[in-house]
Amino acid sequence: MTTTNTGRAAPGVAAEPQLDVRPKQGVLKRVGVFCRTKPLGAISAAIIILTILTAILAPFIAPYDPLDLNHEPFAAPAADKLLGADELGRDVFSRIIFGARVSMYVGLASVLIGISLGTIIGIISAYVGGIIDLAIQRIVDALMAFPAIIMALGLTAVLGSSVNNIVAALVVILLPGAIRVIRAQVLSIKELDYTLAAQAIGARPWRIMLRHILPNVVASYIVLSTITLGLAIIIEASLTFLGVGISADIPTWGGMLTEGAQKYIRTAWWLAVAPGLAISVVVFAINFLGDALRDTLDPRLRGR
Protein backbone atom coordinates (compact mmCIF):
# COMPACT_ATOMS: atom_id res chain seq x y z
CA MET A 1 0.00 0.00 0.00
CA THR A 2 1.43 3.29 -1.01
CA THR A 3 1.09 6.54 0.85
CA THR A 4 0.66 9.95 -0.62
CA ASN A 5 2.92 12.78 0.57
CA THR A 6 0.61 15.70 1.32
CA GLY A 7 3.40 17.96 2.54
CA ARG A 8 2.22 17.67 6.19
CA ALA A 9 4.40 16.33 8.94
CA ALA A 10 3.18 13.43 11.04
CA PRO A 11 2.08 14.23 14.60
CA GLY A 12 5.09 14.67 16.83
CA VAL A 13 7.49 14.89 13.87
CA ALA A 14 9.13 18.22 12.97
CA ALA A 15 8.39 19.46 9.50
CA GLU A 16 11.29 19.69 7.11
CA PRO A 17 12.35 23.27 6.34
CA GLN A 18 11.28 24.58 2.97
CA LEU A 19 14.25 25.65 0.90
CA ASP A 20 14.15 28.63 -1.42
CA VAL A 21 15.16 27.13 -4.74
CA ARG A 22 14.34 30.14 -6.86
CA PRO A 23 17.25 30.88 -9.22
CA LYS A 24 19.13 34.08 -8.61
CA GLN A 25 18.85 36.79 -11.22
CA GLY A 26 21.81 37.18 -13.53
CA VAL A 27 23.60 40.45 -14.03
CA LEU A 28 21.97 41.16 -17.40
CA LYS A 29 18.52 40.41 -16.02
CA ARG A 30 19.12 42.74 -13.09
CA VAL A 31 20.23 45.46 -15.48
CA GLY A 32 17.07 44.90 -17.53
CA VAL A 33 14.89 45.16 -14.42
CA PHE A 34 16.72 48.34 -13.40
CA CYS A 35 16.14 49.89 -16.84
CA ARG A 36 12.41 49.07 -16.69
CA THR A 37 11.81 50.20 -13.13
CA LYS A 38 14.19 53.18 -13.11
CA PRO A 39 14.28 54.53 -16.69
CA LEU A 40 15.62 57.92 -15.58
CA GLY A 41 18.42 56.19 -13.70
CA ALA A 42 19.22 54.06 -16.75
CA ILE A 43 19.37 57.12 -19.02
CA SER A 44 21.60 58.85 -16.47
CA ALA A 45 23.92 55.84 -16.36
CA ALA A 46 24.16 55.89 -20.16
CA ILE A 47 25.08 59.60 -20.08
CA ILE A 48 27.81 58.98 -17.49
CA ILE A 49 29.24 56.01 -19.39
CA LEU A 50 29.19 58.03 -22.62
CA THR A 51 31.00 60.90 -20.89
CA ILE A 52 33.69 58.57 -19.54
CA LEU A 53 34.19 56.97 -22.95
CA THR A 54 34.37 60.40 -24.54
CA ALA A 55 37.06 61.43 -22.06
CA ILE A 56 39.07 58.27 -22.74
CA LEU A 57 38.76 58.51 -26.53
CA ALA A 58 39.10 62.31 -26.72
CA PRO A 59 42.15 62.29 -29.07
CA PHE A 60 40.20 60.15 -31.56
CA ILE A 61 36.80 61.86 -31.24
CA ALA A 62 37.70 65.56 -31.14
CA PRO A 63 37.74 67.12 -34.62
CA TYR A 64 40.58 69.51 -33.72
CA ASP A 65 43.43 69.81 -31.26
CA PRO A 66 42.12 71.82 -28.28
CA LEU A 67 45.11 74.17 -28.39
CA ASP A 68 45.28 74.79 -32.14
CA LEU A 69 43.96 78.02 -33.63
CA ASN A 70 41.66 76.56 -36.27
CA HIS A 71 38.99 79.25 -36.64
CA GLU A 72 38.46 82.96 -36.57
CA PRO A 73 38.26 84.38 -33.01
CA PHE A 74 34.69 84.35 -31.65
CA ALA A 75 33.40 82.43 -34.66
CA ALA A 76 29.75 81.54 -34.06
CA PRO A 77 28.56 77.90 -34.03
CA ALA A 78 28.30 76.42 -37.54
CA ALA A 79 28.46 73.07 -39.32
CA ASP A 80 32.27 72.90 -39.25
CA LYS A 81 32.47 74.23 -35.69
CA LEU A 82 29.49 72.90 -33.76
CA LEU A 83 30.03 75.05 -30.66
CA GLY A 84 31.91 77.93 -32.25
CA ALA A 85 35.37 79.21 -31.39
CA ASP A 86 36.81 81.06 -28.41
CA GLU A 87 38.68 84.36 -28.24
CA LEU A 88 41.80 82.80 -29.79
CA GLY A 89 40.05 80.77 -32.47
CA ARG A 90 40.25 77.41 -30.69
CA ASP A 91 37.43 74.95 -31.35
CA VAL A 92 35.04 74.95 -28.36
CA PHE A 93 33.60 71.50 -29.12
CA SER A 94 37.08 69.94 -29.07
CA ARG A 95 37.89 71.73 -25.84
CA ILE A 96 34.67 70.44 -24.25
CA ILE A 97 35.65 66.88 -25.19
CA PHE A 98 39.17 67.23 -23.78
CA GLY A 99 37.83 69.09 -20.75
CA ALA A 100 35.82 65.99 -19.86
CA ARG A 101 39.11 64.15 -19.26
CA VAL A 102 40.11 66.49 -16.44
CA SER A 103 36.66 66.74 -14.85
CA MET A 104 36.03 63.00 -14.89
CA TYR A 105 39.56 62.16 -13.73
CA VAL A 106 39.35 64.58 -10.81
CA GLY A 107 35.87 63.39 -9.89
CA LEU A 108 36.46 59.65 -10.21
CA ALA A 109 39.91 59.66 -8.58
CA SER A 110 38.82 61.74 -5.59
CA VAL A 111 35.65 59.68 -5.07
CA LEU A 112 37.43 56.33 -5.42
CA ILE A 113 40.13 57.29 -2.91
CA GLY A 114 37.97 59.34 -0.55
CA ILE A 115 34.97 57.01 -0.28
CA SER A 116 37.19 53.91 -0.08
CA LEU A 117 39.26 55.38 2.76
CA GLY A 118 36.09 56.63 4.43
CA THR A 119 34.56 53.15 4.27
CA ILE A 120 37.64 51.50 5.81
CA ILE A 121 37.97 54.08 8.58
CA GLY A 122 34.21 54.06 9.24
CA ILE A 123 34.17 50.27 9.68
CA ILE A 124 37.18 50.32 12.02
CA SER A 125 35.78 53.23 14.02
CA ALA A 126 32.38 51.62 14.57
CA TYR A 127 33.58 48.07 15.21
CA VAL A 128 36.55 48.82 17.49
CA GLY A 129 34.83 51.63 19.38
CA GLY A 130 36.31 53.08 22.53
CA ILE A 131 38.95 55.79 22.40
CA ILE A 132 39.73 55.06 18.73
CA ASP A 133 36.14 55.73 17.73
CA LEU A 134 36.04 58.85 19.91
CA ALA A 135 39.24 60.26 18.38
CA ILE A 136 38.12 59.57 14.81
CA GLN A 137 34.72 61.16 15.37
CA ARG A 138 36.23 64.31 16.89
CA ILE A 139 38.45 64.70 13.80
CA VAL A 140 35.41 64.14 11.57
CA ASP A 141 33.45 66.79 13.49
CA ALA A 142 36.32 69.26 13.08
CA LEU A 143 36.56 68.66 9.32
CA MET A 144 32.81 68.90 8.79
CA ALA A 145 32.69 72.24 10.61
CA PHE A 146 34.15 73.92 7.51
CA PRO A 147 32.06 74.48 4.36
CA ALA A 148 33.33 72.33 1.52
CA ILE A 149 34.26 75.18 -0.81
CA ILE A 150 36.09 77.09 1.97
CA MET A 151 38.13 74.00 2.84
CA ALA A 152 38.85 73.41 -0.85
CA LEU A 153 40.12 76.96 -1.24
CA GLY A 154 42.37 76.65 1.81
CA LEU A 155 43.81 73.27 0.86
CA THR A 156 44.41 74.35 -2.74
CA ALA A 157 46.20 77.48 -1.53
CA VAL A 158 48.49 75.33 0.64
CA LEU A 159 49.05 72.39 -1.73
CA GLY A 160 49.02 74.21 -5.06
CA SER A 161 46.68 74.13 -8.03
CA SER A 162 47.85 71.04 -9.91
CA VAL A 163 45.38 68.32 -10.87
CA ASN A 164 46.67 65.83 -8.30
CA ASN A 165 46.65 68.45 -5.53
CA ILE A 166 43.01 69.21 -6.26
CA VAL A 167 42.28 65.48 -6.07
CA ALA A 168 44.01 65.38 -2.68
CA ALA A 169 41.97 68.36 -1.46
CA LEU A 170 38.74 66.72 -2.60
CA VAL A 171 39.68 63.49 -0.81
CA VAL A 172 39.98 65.42 2.46
CA ILE A 173 36.59 67.03 1.82
CA LEU A 174 34.78 63.78 0.96
CA LEU A 175 36.37 61.69 3.71
CA PRO A 176 34.45 62.82 6.84
CA GLY A 177 31.00 62.42 5.30
CA ALA A 178 31.82 58.90 4.13
CA ILE A 179 33.19 57.94 7.56
CA ARG A 180 30.04 59.15 9.30
CA VAL A 181 27.61 57.37 6.96
CA ILE A 182 29.47 54.03 7.02
CA ARG A 183 30.03 54.18 10.78
CA ALA A 184 26.30 54.65 11.42
CA GLN A 185 25.50 51.57 9.33
CA VAL A 186 28.20 49.41 10.91
CA LEU A 187 26.97 50.27 14.43
CA SER A 188 23.73 48.46 13.59
CA ILE A 189 25.36 45.61 11.64
CA LYS A 190 27.69 44.71 14.52
CA GLU A 191 24.67 43.96 16.73
CA LEU A 192 23.03 41.53 14.30
CA ASP A 193 22.86 37.82 15.10
CA TYR A 194 25.37 36.61 12.51
CA THR A 195 27.97 39.13 13.68
CA LEU A 196 27.46 38.20 17.33
CA ALA A 197 27.63 34.51 16.39
CA ALA A 198 30.97 35.06 14.65
CA GLN A 199 32.28 36.79 17.78
CA ALA A 200 30.99 33.94 19.97
CA ILE A 201 32.91 31.29 18.05
CA GLY A 202 36.12 33.30 18.40
CA ALA A 203 36.47 34.80 14.92
CA ARG A 204 39.12 37.48 14.79
CA PRO A 205 37.96 41.11 14.47
CA TRP A 206 39.62 41.65 11.09
CA ARG A 207 37.91 38.54 9.72
CA ILE A 208 34.51 39.68 10.98
CA MET A 209 35.01 43.10 9.42
CA LEU A 210 36.05 41.60 6.06
CA ARG A 211 33.64 38.67 5.85
CA HIS A 212 30.51 39.89 7.63
CA ILE A 213 30.52 43.70 7.77
CA LEU A 214 32.21 44.90 4.57
CA PRO A 215 29.85 43.02 2.17
CA ASN A 216 26.87 44.64 3.89
CA VAL A 217 28.07 48.20 3.30
CA VAL A 218 28.75 47.76 -0.44
CA ALA A 219 25.34 49.23 -1.32
CA SER A 220 26.05 52.33 0.77
CA TYR A 221 29.49 52.60 -0.86
CA ILE A 222 27.99 52.60 -4.35
CA VAL A 223 25.33 55.18 -3.49
CA LEU A 224 27.84 57.42 -1.71
CA SER A 225 30.19 57.26 -4.68
CA THR A 226 27.56 58.33 -7.20
CA ILE A 227 26.24 61.16 -5.02
CA THR A 228 29.67 62.58 -4.14
CA LEU A 229 30.95 62.32 -7.73
CA GLY A 230 28.69 65.19 -8.74
CA LEU A 231 29.85 67.22 -5.74
CA ALA A 232 33.51 66.65 -6.66
CA ILE A 233 32.97 67.84 -10.24
CA ILE A 234 31.16 70.96 -9.04
CA ILE A 235 33.89 71.81 -6.51
CA GLU A 236 36.62 71.38 -9.15
CA ALA A 237 34.74 73.69 -11.53
CA SER A 238 34.11 76.18 -8.71
CA LEU A 239 37.80 76.32 -7.80
CA THR A 240 38.71 77.11 -11.40
CA PHE A 241 35.90 79.66 -11.57
CA LEU A 242 37.31 81.37 -8.46
CA GLY A 243 40.78 81.49 -10.01
CA VAL A 244 42.56 78.91 -7.82
CA GLY A 245 41.93 75.80 -9.88
CA ILE A 246 43.80 74.04 -12.63
CA SER A 247 46.08 76.06 -14.93
CA ALA A 248 44.43 77.85 -17.84
CA ASP A 249 46.75 75.99 -20.23
CA ILE A 250 44.75 72.80 -19.59
CA PRO A 251 41.23 72.76 -21.07
CA THR A 252 38.72 72.20 -18.27
CA TRP A 253 35.00 72.79 -18.04
CA GLY A 254 35.49 75.07 -15.06
CA GLY A 255 38.16 77.14 -16.79
CA MET A 256 36.08 77.51 -19.95
CA LEU A 257 33.06 78.54 -17.90
CA THR A 258 35.14 81.12 -16.06
CA GLU A 259 36.45 82.72 -19.24
CA GLY A 260 33.09 82.71 -20.97
CA ALA A 261 30.98 83.95 -18.06
CA GLN A 262 33.32 86.65 -16.79
CA LYS A 263 34.53 88.15 -20.05
CA TYR A 264 32.44 87.20 -23.07
CA ILE A 265 28.91 86.38 -21.92
CA ARG A 266 27.48 89.36 -23.87
CA THR A 267 29.52 89.03 -27.04
CA ALA A 268 29.99 85.24 -27.35
CA TRP A 269 27.37 83.49 -25.22
CA TRP A 270 28.37 79.99 -26.40
CA LEU A 271 31.69 80.24 -24.54
CA ALA A 272 29.79 80.11 -21.23
CA VAL A 273 26.74 78.08 -22.24
CA ALA A 274 28.64 75.09 -23.68
CA PRO A 275 30.77 74.23 -20.61
CA GLY A 276 27.94 75.22 -18.24
CA LEU A 277 25.59 72.84 -20.03
CA ALA A 278 28.18 70.04 -19.96
CA ILE A 279 28.65 70.43 -16.20
CA SER A 280 24.89 70.59 -15.59
CA VAL A 281 24.03 67.53 -17.67
CA VAL A 282 26.72 65.34 -16.10
CA VAL A 283 26.00 66.44 -12.53
CA PHE A 284 22.24 65.97 -12.94
CA ALA A 285 22.84 62.53 -14.47
CA ILE A 286 25.05 61.54 -11.54
CA ASN A 287 22.46 62.71 -9.01
CA PHE A 288 19.60 60.92 -10.78
CA LEU A 289 21.66 57.73 -10.97
CA GLY A 290 22.51 58.01 -7.27
CA ASP A 291 18.83 58.34 -6.38
CA ALA A 292 17.92 55.35 -8.56
CA LEU A 293 20.66 53.17 -7.07
CA ARG A 294 19.66 54.16 -3.56
CA ASP A 295 16.03 53.18 -4.23
CA THR A 296 17.15 49.91 -5.80
CA LEU A 297 19.78 48.83 -3.28
CA ASP A 298 18.05 49.98 -0.09
CA PRO A 299 15.45 47.33 0.92
CA ARG A 300 13.38 49.97 2.71
CA LEU A 301 12.93 51.95 -0.53
CA ARG A 302 12.86 49.09 -3.04
CA GLY A 303 9.10 49.09 -3.44
CA ARG A 304 8.81 52.75 -4.41
Q: What is the DSSP string of 201-225?
A: TT--HHHHIIIIIGGGGHHHHHHHH
pLDDT exceeding 90 applies to what percent of the chain?
Answer: 24
Neighbours of 269 (CB within 10 A): 14
CA atoms within 13 A on the CB side of 54: 21
Cβ neighbours of residue 165 closer than 8 Å, sequence gap 6 or more: 155, 156, 159
Q: Higher-confidence residue: 16 or 124? A: 124
Answer whether residue 288 is part of any domain. no
**Closest by Cα among 236, 240, 283, 284 to 262:** 240
In contact, 235 and 228? CB cutoff 8 Å: no
Statement: residue 159 has pLDDT above 80: yes
Residue range 11-30: mean pLDDT, rounded: 54
- pLDDT tens digits for range 236-267: 888 877 777 777 778 888 888 888 887 888 88
Q: What is the pLDDT of residue 141?
A: 92
Band of the pLDDT at 4, cuts 50, 70, 90? very low
Burial of 72 by CB count in 10 Å (0-12 exposed, 13-18 middle, 19+ buried)?
Answer: exposed
Question: Domain of 164?
Answer: 105-247
Q: What is the pLDDT of residue 38?
A: 86
Residue range 16-38: mean pLDDT, rounded: 66
- pLDDT tens digits for range 40-91: 989 999 999 999 999 999 999 988 888 888 888 888 888 888 888 888 888 9
Answer whether residue 163 is part of any domain. yes
Answer whether residue 208 is part of any domain. yes
Average pLDDT over the chain reads 82
Is this prediction's pTM over 0.95?
no
Alpha-carbon distance 124 to 247, whole Å?
A: 38
**Closest by Cα among 27, 129, 118, 77 to 273:** 77
Q: What is the pLDDT of residue 25?
A: 61
91 by DSSP, 3-state: which? Answer: strand
Q: Higher-confidence residue: 162 or 142? A: 142
Statement: residue 303 has pLDDT above 80: no
Answer whether residue 234 is part of any domain. yes
Q: What is the pLDDT of residue 137?
A: 92
- pLDDT tens digits for range 99-145: 898 888 988 999 999 999 999 999 999 988 889 999 999 999 998 88
Alpha-carbon distance 197 to 191, whole Å?
A: 10
* CATH code for the domain in which residue 236 is found: 1.10.3720.10
Q: Give me the residues paired with residue 78 across strands.
A: 81
Neighbours of 113 (CB within 10 A): 16
Q: What is the pLDDT of residue 234?
A: 84
Band of the pLDDT at 299, cuts 50, 70, 90? low
Q: What is the pLDDT of residue 13?
A: 43
Band of the pLDDT at 11, cuts 50, 70, 90? very low
Number of domains the chain contains: 1
Q: Give me the residues paired with residue 91 across strands.
A: 85
Answer whether residue 122 is part of any domain. yes
Answer whether residue 171 is part of any domain. yes
